[in-house]
Amino acid sequence: MHTKTIAQLAQGLHTGNFSSVELTQAYLQRIQQYQSLNSFISITDVQALAAAEQADLAIAQGKAGPLTGVPIAHKDIFCTQGIKTSCGSKMLDNFIAPYNATVVEKFTAAGLVSLGKLNMDEFAMGSSNETSFYGNVQNPWAENTVPGGSSGGSAAAVAARLIPGATGTDTGGSIRQPAALCGITGLKPTYGRVSRYGMIAYASSLDQGGPMTQTAEDAALMLQVMAGFDPKDSTSVEHEVPDYNADLNNSLQGLKIGLPKEFFDAALNSDMATTIEAAINEYKKMGASVVEVSMPNLKLAIPAYYVIAPAECSANLSRMDGVRFGHRCSNPADLNDLYIRSRAEGFGTEVKRRILVGTYALSEGYYDAYYIKAQKIRRLISDDFNKALQEVDVIMGPVTPTPAFGIGEKTNDPIEMYLADIYTIAINLAGLPAMSIPAGFINKKPVGLQIIGNYFAEAKLLNVAHQYQQVTDWHQQTPHGFE
């Protein structure tokens, strides 16, 4: 059963080929069998089996929704009532969420079964899932390589078929980059499309939740549940949610694809460029045309991002001070000692680095020089995308400059690590939707093709991705040993 997609599992549940309890038990057994991947922080087997029993009852009574009884798991950044929500950090190792995030609430209401909470870079800060307090996650395609980050646990678990789908979040590429490195489908929706309520904030103007699955069809099914306006979230956009499955089979005849010349530069591995070009040739066979576009301000994306995101994380993480919730140092001498030692003990190295950078950028005398300038650059990048998307239907290119790199290979060079997101960060700064789909292999390591669309054009991206997956089988490949 573990090789089936969400769409196939939903059909099997409704036709009675198997029960949700049987399905849940099968996936829980696989999770236990492959714990060496370290993709889960918490496994909620008791709650999952109880939810599966309720799902089977709903199906038997004819009260089930389209995805009732299908197992998934949540990135440990989404609050789950009564269950530890750690955000991959020692700071929240003892935090039991008193409420559900809106995304979790939506999946629960739709009858899906949560199997647990997935490992991640601490507070979503990282590109390799090596900053987690609970240890690094291994990429199932090559267990000495990283799965990407920060949603590395989600990507590794879906790739290894421990779960058919997972939630992830994307601040600068944290859905698309691990999806690419693990050979799965990952979608970052338009900013504001999915509620951020109950999703622990890293950078509030950039964070966005989305689905991570085997196929584009499955991503459409999950997004159908996740998307929608939420009055609890001030950044949520009141915009009609379409039927994301309705246009999946539309022809791509006449599709205009834009290729940014800035994506195909010296930073891109030559084998990666060849693989991406081969994927785009498949689109040409389906009737698409390709034009070169230019976005000259893309080169400024990384410096702008690493001012804006740390500035916002500095503000967001100030609430974690050892007083209200989270880690608290023992025997503080006074209030100042409580603050200093609680935060020093609770936060990891990368989180501390970004807090310091962000606090510096927001300080008097530097706010105008750094933060305001970065926001102006952000507008220029957004304008570049808007101009390009007036000429083409979608923009395509690589997700990462190289395939998965080795565990420990970049941990001592933060700048080199930041460059792993060189092709994804700009999309978050612009607030656009984008996705990664499997497009081949280099030395048996997966490669992802990035597809970028206009605001709220998720249905178009899913259509473009689904049609590619009808003529290729990269998304059907399973890592050796996890068949």
Residue 75 falls in the annotated catalytic set: yes
Q: Catalytic: which of 89, 128, 174, 314?
A: 174
Q: Catalytic: which of 19, 75, 195, 460?
A: 75
Residue 127 falls in the annotated catalytic set: no
Residue 132 falls in the annotated catalytic set: no
Q: Catalytic: which of 86, 150, 195, 314?
A: 150
The secondary structure of the chain, three-state, reads: CCCCCHHHHHHHHHHCCCCHHHHHHHHHHHHHHCHHHCCEEEECHHHHHHHHHHHHHHHHCCCCCCCCCCEEEEECCECCCCCECCCCCHHHCCCECCCCCHHHHHHHHCCCEEEEEECCCHHHCCCCCCCCCCCCCCCCCCCCECCCCCCHHHHHHHHCCCCCEEEEECCCCCCHHHHHHHCCEEEECCCCCECCCCECCCCCCCCCEEEEECCHHHHHHHHHHHECCCCCCCCCCCCCCCCCCCCCCCCCCCCEEEEECCCCCCCCCHHHHHHHHHHHHHHHHCCCEEEEECCHHHHHHHHHHHHHHHHHHHHHHHHCCCCCCCCCCCCCCCHHHHHHHHHHHHCCHHHHHHHHHHHHHHCCCCHHHHHHHHHHHHHHHHHHHHHHHHHCCEEEEECCCCCCCECCCCCCCHHHHHHHHCCCHHHHHHCCCEEEEEEEEECCEEEEEEEECCCCCHHHHHHHHHHHHHHCCHHHCCCCCCC
Catalytic sites, residue numbers:
75, 150, 174
